[in-house]
Amino acid sequence: MALFNESLEARFNGAIARMHGMKGPGAPAPQVSPEISHAIQLAQTNIADDLDALVGVRNLIISVAAPAIAAVAAGLRVTPPRGGLLVITGVEVSKVTAGFIGFGYDDVFAGGISFNGTFSPSIAQFRDSRLGKSQTATPGTKVETHLTGAFPTIPAQVRRAWVQANTELYIPIRPGLVMASGPSGSNINAVFGIFNETLNEQLIVQLDAYERTLSPAELQLPQ
């Protein structure tokens, strides 16, 4: 049985074309001869950050101050881009009083609705200015703040963490939490949520994450 050759994916040919400044249609991979010496100037000591964009990885920062509302668990939900992956690698939270926050994901919801209550649109931003200006470039990932409802049911809880009063708590997610959203009409959908268990209190949340498109071959892994 033949295995899927990921090097045939368009994003890899696109990376080769950008690296060599190649123009015109067609897949450049077969045209790159062994005599060519690849050279790329890197601006950081961590070369992975520089190279991510070449293979379609779009690094994000999500920073939200979820408002204090009476009888409401402040928080947010984050939805991957349609037909894409969202990978969350770190969470930072702070709140006024000491208490618990809970976060996890929901991938069994129906009708495109997940977590109790109503939500208001917020924003995510790129961490790489080559992907566009932060004021105008919009990632595919959707971010929303919690406006009504107490602490919601979290079907798959990743962590319940105690936060000291007025102290920033950073929680690395290793390995990253990988969530997929299939194309329109797909039953593969996941939404991330993080909420304050103390009602009527602001919750400041920052998420480190990245998004990229999905190929049909990797949409659902074998069980």
Report pLDDT digits (tens) over 134-181: 888 889 999 999 999 999 999 899 999 999 999 999 999 999 999 999
Bridge partners for 162 per DSSP: 100
Helix, coil or strand: residue 132 = coil
Rounded Cα distance, 100 and 147, in Å? 19
Q: What is the pLDDT of residue 1?
A: 41
The pair phi, psi for residue 152, each rounded to 5°, is -80, 165
Kindly list the domain boundaries of the chain, sorted by start residue.
6-54, 58-215
pTM score, two decimals?
A: 0.77
Task: Specify the DSSP class assigned to residue 21.
Answer: T
- Judge whether residue 23 has pLDDT over 60: yes
Query: Please, which pLDDT band fits residue 2 given cuts at 50, 70 and 90?
Result: very low
Percentage with pLDDT > 90 across the chain: 55
Rounded Cα distance, 95 and 166, in Å? 6
Helix, coil or strand: residue 180 = strand
- Judge whether residue 8 has pLDDT over 80: no
Task: Read off the pLDDT of each residue in 43-67 and give the average, rounded to a whole number.
Answer: 82
pLDDT tens-place string over residues 96-120: 999 999 999 998 876 566 898 999 9
